[in-house]
Structure 1
């Protein structure tokens, strides 16, 4: 398998440039900041049902994928009509990961207004349309759930240090640059443009050598940073599943999805619950702005529909790539094996102490941010954090990693 560095073609899919998977065409729809209006979510559900496999697949970049597509031209038309495809030239590079609860609960500053500003700024720079489709922009409201949580995967990030200023991060490392809220978007866009100029064959900032990183920083920020390169500290995880009290007295409901997937019916239920939904990098959905009574009722409805509202459900701790037979690279039907492990853990009353990610190959697609037990198919069984484990013993292996 070629490494990212040796791959010469950007195979990262978009809504217009789809990927030919074993289960049909795959399209990835960018949702800057993970935000999607309820009407748009309903359109996505309709697209999945009418044109694809009937399921929405959330990603760890807080985007959504549609699989098994039969008519990609019809999909593009529907997405454009719904306002989900504002730029044909930049549609694959609108990867903006944001603290999901910003402006709702906690945080040093509400970064939500910066999302639209950054999205517009990205699309306004022609050269940014040539960025790799996996390039990430990040906006962290100070809690450290974006800047710091993703290791080196977020290429350029602004992380609030107080209500007025933030630190500039390159691949998760603090550059020493501090800029105000009003400067954040310009700096991130300039850094992205500088990366495009200096990247050579690199797909992400983490692949640049020290000299290249220095050139990127100098091009965008001059001598404002010391380039210290200290790793940004990991902060809070995303808010807990269930009903959450917002700072304004209203409530939000945070619902997990098994393997980050929602049937069209589940997606329509989510769309009918709140005016907007926020897809998180943990492949869950946050539904804000509800009255307390409505939030409690919504929690009950969503649970009945099969969504995850309890953090002690083993299914809430386990993620997985698509696996076989949908992916030719996968060495196992990892979702079937993960489902079996979840059932056995539930029967035992065990909840792994932390996340676990099942992957069908060494690419480890869909791996969540932060630490996770690595469950990697190897053709004969699995490697669980490097230890050989038969498929039938996965629940036992995960349980030994710790209990809550």
Structure 2
């Protein structure tokens, strides 16, 4: 069983952050939350400097589009520097700012998620009680393409409604009100934990017995008639409007179902048919990263870069920041000083947005020279691994080195994504269809997910 799926907790949540570090075998490890995976080139450059000056020089990418720095010689100095860089806006909430978002949102999908991500982050940090959320509680903002649906978020905004642990519980909401409703759902989760002794150790909504229905009941109970009247679905018509014959909140909440989504790589057209749309990821294969250019609706392109085994050296991080800044310097507009947007993704890739096609080619060459992957035919597109030895005391093998040797024998990406794990915890296991190679102390055992 993956550690991420383990329930019946017997120990407190020890999820690391920038202040509460994890004492790993190779020294203290800090995790920095990046809501929506967004980071400015300047902040990325400072993060690289912190990794080089205070740590092992490696920035690990996580499956929640966050980053972590290992081997810290001074965790206090690290926290002070990232706070000064604006990466630690709330000391109390720093471990609960877990927000993933469609990295190509606003460029290929229907919704630009970043304004909602920023509003949600502010709302989350603005409520003192929510500092008590478990460090694994996850929010997601989907741009309408469905790429966030397979990530198992506790609260997801998708297509004009909220999903709870991946379940459609009949909670329609507009994007302008979504941040408040998402944090209300988180507060309802805390309420359910506190009022049910058997579920008091739950870290996720899915770990509550009938969790989505119970939380939806609380949200329906606090829903005002004015809010119900003004909630709109994606067609612009009233959704879940009051009805004299409607069942009570408990009955409505019990009618929950797994969230449906368009066919992979498609959007829903005016007549309800699935039609192709660029930049959409198949939720069933969400583990597979991709590399290369993705066309934006405005004629510009995004460049997705695969980071081998999710480990970014300080030099590579500086190369990404420099490319983002240099590219923006050649463009007109307010991005000249900040650089083009940079997004980390849940697939442990990095995306540079809003590039001119010719500039994207140049950036791809520069980053490939730095050891990053911009070729979709590369064997690295589809291979991930946990930290392994020597960084993890529980690991039974140096999975990073073993994975690198194995990739060197490949001519192209594996047909199904492959994850190398040093023990049965299988940390970092991607979502979707994955071949798992789990160290046993006497080689590896293959599993299928």
Identify whether the pair has TM-score above 0.5, normalized to the shorter chain.
Answer: yes
- Whether the aligned pair in 2 keeps the contact of 1:45 and 1:264 (CA below 8 Å) is yes
Which has the larger displacement, 372-381 or 239-248? Answer: 239-248
Match of 2:385 in 1: 320
Match of 2:355 in 1: 290
**For residues 208 and 11 of structure 2, what CA distance do their matches in structure 1 show?**
16
1:229 and 2:223 matched = no
**For residues 382 and 171 of structure 1, what CA distance do their matches in structure 2 show?**
32
**For residues 213 and 302 of structure 2, what CA distance do their matches in structure 1 show?**
42
**For residues 177 and 225 of structure 1, what CA distance do their matches in structure 2 show?**
9
- Whether the aligned pair in 1 keeps the contact of 2:213 and 2:253 (CA below 8 Å) is no
1:186 and 2:214 matched = no
- Whether the aligned pair in 1 keeps the contact of 2:63 and 2:428 (CA below 8 Å) is yes
Deviation at 1:181, TM superposition (A): 1.4
- Whether the aligned pair in 1 keeps the contact of 2:95 and 2:135 (CA below 8 Å) is yes
Match of 2:365 in 1: 300
In the comparison of the two structures, how many residue pairs are matched? 374
Deviation at 1:386, TM superposition (A): 6.1
Which of 104, 127, 140 is 2:142 aligned to? 140
Instruction: For residues 198-218 of structure 1, give each alpha carbon's deviation from its aligned partner in whole angstroms, at most 9, with x where no partner exists.
Output: 1311111111111x4322221
1:80 and 2:74 matched = no
**For residues 384 and 201 of structure 1, what CA distance do their matches in structure 2 show?**
32
Deviation at 1:189, TM superposition (A): 0.5
**For residues 43 and 87 of structure 1, what CA distance do their matches in structure 2 show?**
19
SS of 2:173's equivalent in the other structure is strand
Match of 1:120 in 2: 122
Match of 2:424 in 1: 362
Deviation at 1:242, TM superposition (A): 1.3
Q: How does 1:336-375 map to 2 (within 5 A)?
A: 336-345=401-410, 349-375=411-437
Any unmatched runs of 5+ in structure 1?
A: 161-165, 388-404
Match of 1:155 in 2: 154
**For residues 81 and 230 of structure 1, what CA distance do their matches in structure 2 show?**
42
- Whether the aligned pair in 2 keeps the contact of 1:273 and 1:287 (CA below 8 Å) is no
CA gap 1:272/1:386 in 2 versus in 1, 3 angstroms: closer
Which of 290, 310, 320 is 2:375 aligned to? 310
Larger relative strand fraction: 1
Deviation at 1:225, TM superposition (A): 4.8
Deviation at 1:350, TM superposition (A): 4.9
Deviation at 1:143, TM superposition (A): 0.8
Which has the larger displacement, 317-326 or 287-296? Answer: 287-296
Instruction: For residues 57-102 of structure 1, give each alpha carbon's deviation from its aligned partner in whole angstroms, at most 9, with x where no partner exists.
Output: 1100000000000101111111111000000000000000001100
TM (normalized to structure 2)? 0.80
1:30 and 2:95 matched = no
1:89 and 2:92 matched = yes
1:19 and 2:18 matched = no
- Whether the aligned pair in 2 keeps the contact of 1:282 and 1:369 (CA below 8 Å) is no
SS of 2:391's equivalent in the other structure is coil
**For residues 424 and 191 of structure 2, what CA distance do their matches in structure 1 show?**
30
Which of 266, 284, 287 is 2:316 aligned to? 266
Which of 343, 354, 359 is 1:278 aligned to? 343
Instruction: For residues 227-267 of structure 1, give each alpha carbon's deviation from its aligned partner in whole angstroms, at most 9, with x where no partner exists.
Output: 42324448442784212222122222111100111111110
**For residues 72 and 207 of structure 2, what CA distance do their matches in structure 1 show?**
33
**For residues 254 and 391 of structure 2, what CA distance do their matches in structure 1 show?**
47
**For residues 242 and 273 of structure 1, what CA distance do their matches in structure 2 show?**
15
1:49 and 2:41 matched = no
**For residues 431 and 112 of structure 2, what CA distance do their matches in structure 1 show?**
22
Larger radius of gyration between Structure 1 and Structure 2: 2
TM (normalized to structure 1)? 0.88
Which of 370, 377, 380 is 2:442 aligned to? 380
CA gap 1:179/1:45 in 2 versus in 1, 3 angstroms: same
- Whether the aligned pair in 1 keeps the contact of 2:167 and 2:212 (CA below 8 Å) is no
Which has the larger displacement, 359-368 or 313-322? Answer: 359-368
1:130 and 2:132 matched = yes
CA gap 1:241/1:201 in 2 versus in 1, 3 angstroms: same
SS of 1:314's equivalent in the other structure is coil
1:175 and 2:203 matched = no
Which has the larger displacement, 83-92 or 200-209? Answer: 200-209
Match of 1:257 in 2: 307
Any unmatched runs of 5+ in structure 2?
A: 194-199, 222-248, 265-279, 325-338
SS of 1:85's equivalent in the other structure is coil
1:61 and 2:64 matched = yes
